[in-house]
Amino acid sequence: SIPLGYFGGIGAASRKGILFKGSNYLDLITQVNTVIFDKTGTLTKGVFSVQQEEAAATADPDWKLLAISLEAKSNHPIALALVKHLGKPTDSVLGLEEHAGQGLSGQVHGKQVLVGNRSLMKAKTIPDLPKTSLPGKTLVYAAVDGEYCGYFALADEIKSDALEAFTELRKLGISETGILSGDRQEIVQTLGKELGADFAYGGLLPDQKSSRLEELKRKSGSKIAFVGDGINDAPALAVADLGIAMGAMGSDLAIETADVVIQTDHPSRVALAVRIGKTTRHIVW
Ligand code: ADP
Ligand code: MG
């Protein structure tokens, strides 16, 4: 049977928008020693703005329209920002493919269009990528019929309570914190330093996030929690000892896969969840 104190803990948590899917997770969260966060949409707002764009001299004159035709079919935060910036096209897309953690491909007006990060361009062997490195910017490249056409530089904003989340977790005795992200290594490392994370790895595909977690699990011997909001986080949420899905707009798959669901956009609620777990344990035992 479930000790009565757990109901108090679960109730207190749910009043703060923290849903434990079972009382066992309230207990498990007190054993967690490492907390790892996804970046985009979890620690940052996931609301990008387009800051800059550049076209290649030889670019197809319609490259932006073609790129945005693919993005109009996606719900990714980057896609929403680009559609807001350029307007919503009505051109139809054939054979749309979503490459999780990389971007999109498909045919528009009989042309093969590719839009996404550098690793997608490299995977599709697009030559002549520019050597740009705008500090702190997420770069989205576009290619048409195998030729590089241009890029957009976007920026996201850190959530106001992200730092609080890290400092509170440390106060609660969490000995290790980290960030795993599909975004550029340089951006992820800068954020990690700003938040005082013990490690921060970027450039990871969804399955690389989960294999990195498995590695950490083997090495640490302690319980690991992973916090994420997107479809691309589902594999990591499943591998973690405790999966925590975040965000009012969190994806259905993330919410389904997680053990704990935070219904607000506040990463500091992760620390609150740990605090409630510890307090409850104190009452129960
Ligand atoms: P995170 O792990 O930080 O939540 P994602 O895995 O969602 O990030 O995305 C990783 C990277 O993949 C993005 O930074 C972007 O470069 C690229 N990407 C993903 N989806 C798209 C898209 N629809 N359009 C362009 N680029 C995309
Ligand atoms: Mg995310």
pLDDT in tens, 48-106: 999 999 999 999 999 999 999 999 999 888 999 999 999 999 899 999 999 988 999 99
pLDDT in tens, 160-211: 999 999 999 999 999 999 999 999 999 999 999 999 999 999 999 888 999 9
Query: Which among 242, 261, 208 has a CA at the least distance from the CA of 102?
Result: 208
CATH of domain 49-155: 3.40.1110.10
Q: Which ligand is nearest to the CA of 75?
A: 1
SS3 of the chain: helix, strand, coil, percent, to 5 = 40, 25, 35
Answer left, alpha or beta for residue 150, where phi above 0 means left and psi between -120 and 50 means alpha: left
Instruction: Using the predicted structure, report yes or no on whether residue 231 has a pLDDT greater than 80.
Output: no
Domain chopping of the chain, boundaries: 4-45+159-284, 49-155
Instruction: Using the predicted structure, report yes or no on whether residue 253 has a pLDDT greater than 80.
Output: yes
pLDDT in tens, 40-63: 999 999 899 999 999 999 999 999
Query: Which among 212, 180, 184, 217 has a CA at the least distance from the CA of 198?
Result: 180
| Ligand 1 mutation pick, 76, 99, 119, max ligand atoms within 8 A of CB | 76
Q: Show the ligand 1 pocket: residues with CB < 6 angstroms.
A: 38-41, 71, 74, 76, 78-79, 101-104, 115-117, 138, 140, 181-183, 230, 232
Question: Which residues neighbour 167 within 8 Å (Cβ) at sequence distance 6 or greater?
Answer: 196
The pTM of the full predicted model, rounded to 2 decimals, is 0.86
Question: Which residues neighbour 282 within 8 Å (Cβ) at sequence distance 6 or greater?
Answer: none
Instruction: Using the predicted structure, report yes or no on whether residue 113 has a pLDDT greater than 80.
Output: yes
In the sheet that holds 49-55, the strands lie side by side as 49-55, 147-155, 138-144, 111-116, 103-108, 93-99
Cβ contact 58:147 at 8 Å: yes
Alpha carbon 1 to its chain's center: 37
pLDDT in tens, 114-152: 999 999 999 999 999 999 878 889 999 999 999 999 999
* Rounded distance from Cα 228 to ligand 2 centre (Å): 6
**Sequence letter at residue 67:** A
CATH of 4-45+159-284, one of 3.40.50.360, 1.10.287.610, 3.40.50.1000, 3.40.50.300: 3.40.50.1000
Q: Which ligand is nearest to the CA of 82?
A: 1
